[in-house]
Amino acid sequence: MPLLDARDMLAFPGGDNSSDTVIGNVHFNLTTLNHWNYTLFSNGTLSNGSWCLLTFEPYTPTYVLSNGTFLNVTWCWSPTEPIGVRAGVGIGYAVLFAVALVLTSVNLTKHGKLHLPAEKRFWPIGRRWQWYWAAAVCATAMISLLTGVDVDRYFLPELPIILTSFFWYLMQICAIALVWEAVRHWGSWMERQFIDPDPFSLRQDDGRSKVELYVPLFFYLFLWLNFFMIVPRNWGAIQYQRYPQQTLDVAAPSATDARFKAAAFLLAVCWLITTFSLRHSIKYYCPRNRGIFNRIIGFVRYTPLRFMLIVPLAATIVAYQALVAWHFEYSPLKVDGLTAAIYAGGYTPALLIVFVQAIIGFMNPNEDLELQRQRRVRGRELDREMGVVLKPSWWRRMNGEHMDPNASMRDRLIRNVQEISGNKPTAPTIEVPPNAAGRTNEPVEMTPVSPSLASPPITSPPLEPYTGRSERRREERARELAAGLLFPEAAHNSATAAARRRQELMMDGPPPPSYTDTVSNAQTASNLQPSTVARSLSAQSSGSTNQPPQQIRSMLDV
């Protein structure tokens, strides 16, 4: 690929002899230069189509070897030029994107933190995606702007213009994804507030849920199609802008080909899907309006201020990408393109979207905390409707209901038993040595009860340990023993009720005779037949249980 037009070629200046030439006050072997097909151009470069070096001072080489190698050489793709307008403005924008990245990180920490258990329908990653995309916008923009500095400084365009263009397109994709995730998550947050009072107010198999399932899939389908139209391509043709005719013949057709035009169309589809998602959320989670004009007014009325700013900015991104796909002179891919158009349409909308998101993020509370606040408000409203008056926080401490965090487990169990039995303490008990009567002092600020008026101690019938083979019955008996120790009054009432029921069952009549009495009567009766006695004896189970079980050795024993 030629570096410059043939009209810019110059003849080598004469030297001391026919095989000598002087370039930049340095003598070179003309025979060697002609052998390796080097050509001198009017812009002060020396090139053979593969190598290009600067010949003007102070970058003039000092010597050329017979194999065509130059000593102390400076290549044409070196940052030798001063920073221009495009690079200076780009540094300022890079600083602003760095500030936006810091604000995005703070908002990610604030809104990504969990204060409630994670729910299956509302994963924490869902509300963090918008901040992840915002960070990606800032990172790609900073790379594009910082590499754009070398676009002005390189003597001939090369790798910096490719990196600038590549990361600029990635920034556009991330900015559209940021707006989409902000809109999608707002709808999810509205749904979460809608079903929090009543989880069964919205069905999970209706048209609304199906739309919310498939719309994100369609959005990311078209977004990835936009990505594949732009990124996997030959970017090398963008750098061939070393003279005007080369720009028109190589760079401009490559930057405005059919793939870039199709990518702009796919990005427009993504914006339309984002707008549809916003309309869907307003339709189902905001008050409904009747009529076409009322729906339009309601759509504008219930759209949050944030979306009234960032959705039009996203449309500006789509429009500018379509503009540069047809007009190369306004494109960031052009080395000497229009700077005002590049920054006004290429970088400013994405920067404003990130800053709007960051400012609104600082103004809005964490969603879990906001949900807790709404639950407290609903609880107070329900208490007011039911006539429940909640006592202030100091009431529990004044009435002895404050639990000491340093209390032992024994003190807590005693306190629970006292509350169940109705003996709520009004102050903590102070353990003191026994008095002269052999009893411990009463709790502080408690009037002692007269012995004659004191109620007898609660005693419950002792529970005998279970000796059977049933594991379930053994566990039940263990629980009964534990309940009797922790709650003696309840155990006493339960044991008393069980004894009373057993006594009522015994009042129906005498118990049936035992099998032993039946067998003894059968043996002593003289009027019974031998077969009757045999049947009575066979009914006795004491002998069969004391003997080992019968071993069956064949079918004849059955």
Q: Is residue 283 part of a domain?
A: yes
CA distances to 401, 421, 428, 443, 479 from 415, in Å: 10, 10, 10, 13, 20
Q: Is residue 225 part of a domain?
A: yes
The boundaries of the domain holding residue 104 are 85-366
Strands 45-47 and 52-54: antiparallel
Q: What is the pLDDT of residue 541?
A: 46
> Which residues 6+ apart lie within 8 Å of 27 measured at CB?
15, 16, 20, 21
- CA-wise closest residue to 161 among 216, 211, 86, 212: 86
Residues 30 and 141 reside in one and the same domain: no
CB of 76 closer than 8 Å to CB of 3: yes
Question: SS3 for 54?
Answer: strand
| Whole-number Å distance between alpha carbons of 353 and 331 | 21
Q: Is residue 350 part of a domain?
A: yes
Q: What is the pLDDT of residue 536?
A: 43
| Whole-number Å distance between alpha carbons of 306 and 310 | 6
Residue 146: CATH number of its domain: 1.20.1070
| Whole-number Å distance between alpha carbons of 108 and 130 | 9
Residues 360 and 406 reside in one and the same domain: no
CB of 180 closer than 8 Å to CB of 269: no
| pTM, 2 dp | 0.69
Q: What is the mean pLDDT of each run of 10 residues along the chain (558 residues)?
A: 58 78 83 85 82 84 84 84 90 96 95 88 88 96 93 88 94 96 93 86 84 93 95 90 87 92 95 94 82 78 91 95 93 91 94 96 92 90 83 71 70 74 50 44 39 46 65 77 69 69 63 52 47 43 51 51
Q: What is the pLDDT of residue 165?
A: 93
CB of 250 closer than 8 Å to CB of 237: yes
| AA identity, residue 320 | Y
Residue that is last in its domain, among 494, 514, 544:
494
Q: What is the pLDDT of residue 440?
A: 42
Residues 18 and 140 reside in one and the same domain: no
| Whole-number Å distance between alpha carbons of 259 and 227 | 11
Both tokens assigned to 26: 């340095």
Residues 408 and 285 reside in one and the same domain: no
Residues 152 and 243 reside in one and the same domain: yes
Q: Is residue 538 part of a domain?
A: no
Q: Is residue 298 part of a domain?
A: yes
Q: Is residue 519 part of a domain?
A: no
Residues 66 and 95 reside in one and the same domain: no
Structural domain count, the chain:
3
Left (φ > 0), alpha (ψ -120 to 50) or beta: where does 400 sit?
left
- CA-wise closest residue to 323 among 410, 260, 366, 389: 260
Q: Is residue 504 part of a domain?
A: no
Q: What is the pLDDT of residue 395?
A: 74
Residues 62 and 91 reside in one and the same domain: no
Q: What is the pLDDT of residue 466?
A: 66
> To which H or E segment does residue 29 belong?
strand 26-29
Q: What is the pLDDT of residue 184?
A: 94
Residues 91 and 239 reside in one and the same domain: yes
Q: What is the pLDDT of residue 50?
A: 80
| Whole-number Å distance between alpha carbons of 47 and 216 | 53
Residues 94 and 35 reside in one and the same domain: no
- CA-wise closest residue to 118 among 127, 110, 109: 127
